[in-house]
C-alpha cells in the first residue's frame, strides 16, 4: 500500500480485482442522500479514475433525470463502496461530486455499444414504466430514428466525478482483526491513519 497515494493503491487493487472477480470488478455501491438527509444506495460501474488535479476523481455515468443524479444535484456529497469478495478486500471513497465536461461525456458515450447508446435515449430512468412493452417500443422507435447512422449523446445523459476527501482500504484478516487504513485529503495532501477493526 502506497502511504502517500491512495489513488495509486486503489488502481493496483482494481487491477488485481480485474484478474480475479468473475463479474464487473468496477461495480460499486453509490450512496447519496436527499436534501433532508434520507439515504439511498444503488450499484454503478466505475468508468474512469483521474489522477490530476489532486486529489483525483472517480467517474461514473447516468441519466441526468435519474434519482441518483437529482440527489447529487441537490446534495453533491456521496460515497462509493467497492467490495471484491474474491480478494477479501473493500474500498470506501467519500467526497463531493461534480458533472464531467460535455467533451468527457461525449468521449465515453462514443465507446458504448450501439444498444447501450439507444438505451440511453429510450430509458426515462427512474420514472414509472407502464410495461416492458412500452420500453421495447421506445427502443424500436429510436432504432428507426437513428437507423445505421451515428447516435449522438442525449443531453439528459452525462457523468459525475467524485473528488475524494476520504478513502478507506479494508483487508480481511484472521479472527476479524481486519486491516483498515484511511486516507484524509487536507491542505493539499493525504494524511493516513490506521483504524481499529
pLDDT in tens, 46-77: 999 998 888 999 999 999 999 999 999 999 99
Measured in whole angstroms, the distance separating CA 193 from the mean position of its chain's CA atoms is 25
Q: Which of 38, 132, 144, 176 is catalytic?
A: 176
109: which residues sit within 8 A by CB, 6+ positions away?
61, 117, 120, 153, 157
Q: Determine the Cα–Cα distance for residues 194 and 197; give it in Å rounded to an integer.
A: 9
167: nearest Cα among 25, 9, 16, 40: 9
Residue 1 — very low, low, confident or very high, per pLDDT cuts 50/70/90? confident
Widest Cα–Cα separation across the chain: 59
Predicted TM-score (pTM) of this structure: 0.94
Percentage of the chain with pLDDT > 90? 91
Query: Would residue 176 show up in a list of annotated catalytic residues for this protein?
Result: yes
Residue 3 — very low, low, confident or very high, per pLDDT cuts 50/70/90? confident
* Domain range list for the chain: 6-113+157-195
Q: What is the CATH number of domain 6-113+157-195?
A: 2.30.110.10
CA dist 66 to 62, 78, 126, Å?
7, 15, 5
Do the beta carbons of residue 184 and residue 191 sit within 8 Å? yes
Amino acid at each position: 500500500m502506497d502511504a502517500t497515494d491512495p489513488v495509486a493503491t486503489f488502481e493496483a487493487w482494481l487491477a488485481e480485482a480485474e484478474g480475479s472477480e468473475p463479474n464487473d470488478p468496477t461495480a460499486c455501491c453509490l450512496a447519496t442522500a436527499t436534501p433532508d438527509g434520507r439515504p439511498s444506495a444503488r450499484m454503478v460501474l466505475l468508468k474512469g479514475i483521474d489522477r490530476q488535479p489532486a486529489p483525483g476523481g472517480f467517474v461514473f455515468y447516468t441519466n441526468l433525470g435519474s434519482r441518483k443524479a437529482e440527489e447529487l444535484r441537490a446534495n453533491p456529497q456521496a460515497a462509493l463502496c467497492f467490495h471484491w469478495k474474491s480478494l477479501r478486500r473493500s474500498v470506501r471513497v467519500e467526497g463531493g461530486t461534480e458533472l464531467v465536461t460535455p467533451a468527457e461525456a461525449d468521449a465515453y458515450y462514443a465507446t458504448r455499444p450501439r444498444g447501450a447508446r439507444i438505451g440511453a435515449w429510450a430509458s426515462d430512468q427512474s420514472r414509472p414504466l407502464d410495461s416492458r412493452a412500452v420500453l421495447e417500443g421506445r427502443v424500436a422507435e429510436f432504432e428507426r430514428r437513428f437507423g445505421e447512422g451515428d447516435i449522438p449523446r442525449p443531453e439528459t445523459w452525462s457523468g459525475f466525478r467524485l473528488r475524494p476527501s476520504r478513502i478507506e482500504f479494508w483487508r480481511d484478516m484472521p479472527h476479524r482483526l481486519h486491516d483498515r487504513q484511511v486516507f484524509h485529503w487536507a491542505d493539499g495532501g493525504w494524511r493516513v491513519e490506521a483504524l481499529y477493526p
